[in-house]
Amino acid sequence: MNMTLYKADDRGTADYGWLKPNYYFSFAQYYDPKKIHFGALRVLNDDFIDGGGGFPTHPHDNMEIVTIPFTGALQHKDSTGGQGVIKAGDIQIMSAGTGVQHSEANASSTESVTLFQIWVFPKNRNITPRYDQKTFDIEERKNKWQTVVSPIEADQALWINQDAVFSLTNLKAGSTINYTNRFSGNGVFLVLINGNAEVGGQILNKRDAIGIEGTDQFEITASSDAELLAIEIPMQLPQ
């Protein structure tokens, strides 16, 4: 098993006033040649958006874009007609495909929003753009994996145009959980959203991440109550 640690304190940062992002991978003016992507995972931004802040309408194409909010509410509108408000427990996905215009804004003028925005290279290029969102019961991820994004129909998750699986878990202190790949040969980018945990002898603290390759199964132990996101992802970029 090969592991690469991404410490929270080593992430790129920026301050746009209304937006304060943390970048796990090179993005915008932040560039680190060692942190361009992890397989087909291109972007993972940990964003703080002030009340009243938002991204004006802008374009994307040929990217799968997943948004996971933690606090507050985010309003979305795009050129496919997709629109909605997402909050903690909700997941949003947009396939940019042949091209889409969208905007995102804090739904509140006073309360902040915190979220992960994640970009994945698609399996098939130039598909028809699409938008979807779903509310998941947070209670259903206590000490077990809750799959929220997957191309596997039986998972009853949001569909993604890639052999990638996003799963969340909330672990009680002292508990252990296994992760087994749904697609053999994939890597897993594991993010500790909150708490403390240990993976393969490596200690993770809040917002630390670890890229895991060369195994289809590994074990996580929570040393305190812990919230984790596992992004299982192909390690070869699409041709």
**Structural domain harbouring 65:** 2-124+131-233
In-domain check, residue 238: no
Phi, psi (deg, nearest 5) at residue 139: -65, -25
Q: What is the CATH number of the domain that holds 202?
A: 2.60.120.10
How does pLDDT run across 160-214, given as a tens digit for each residue? 999 999 999 999 999 999 999 999 999 999 999 999 999 999 999 999 999 999 9
In-domain check, residue 189: yes
pTM of the full structure? 0.97
> How many angstroms separate the CA atoms of 106 and 18, rounded?
10
Residue 18 is which amino acid? W
Cα 115 to Cα 15, 172, 180: the distances in Å are: 16, 22, 26
Residue 41 is which amino acid? L
How does pLDDT run across 102-132, given as a tens digit for each residue? 889 899 989 999 999 999 999 999 999 999 9
In-domain check, residue 169: yes
Is residue 46 predicted with pLDDT exceeding 80?
Answer: yes
How does pLDDT run across 80-100, given as a tens digit for each residue? 887 889 999 999 999 999 999
3-state secondary structure 118-163: EEECCCCCCCCCEEEEEECCHHHHECCCEEEECCCHHHCCECCCCC
Residue 81 pairs in a beta bridge with none
- Count of domains for the chain: 1
In-domain check, residue 97: yes
Is residue 239 predicted with pLDDT exceeding 80?
Answer: no
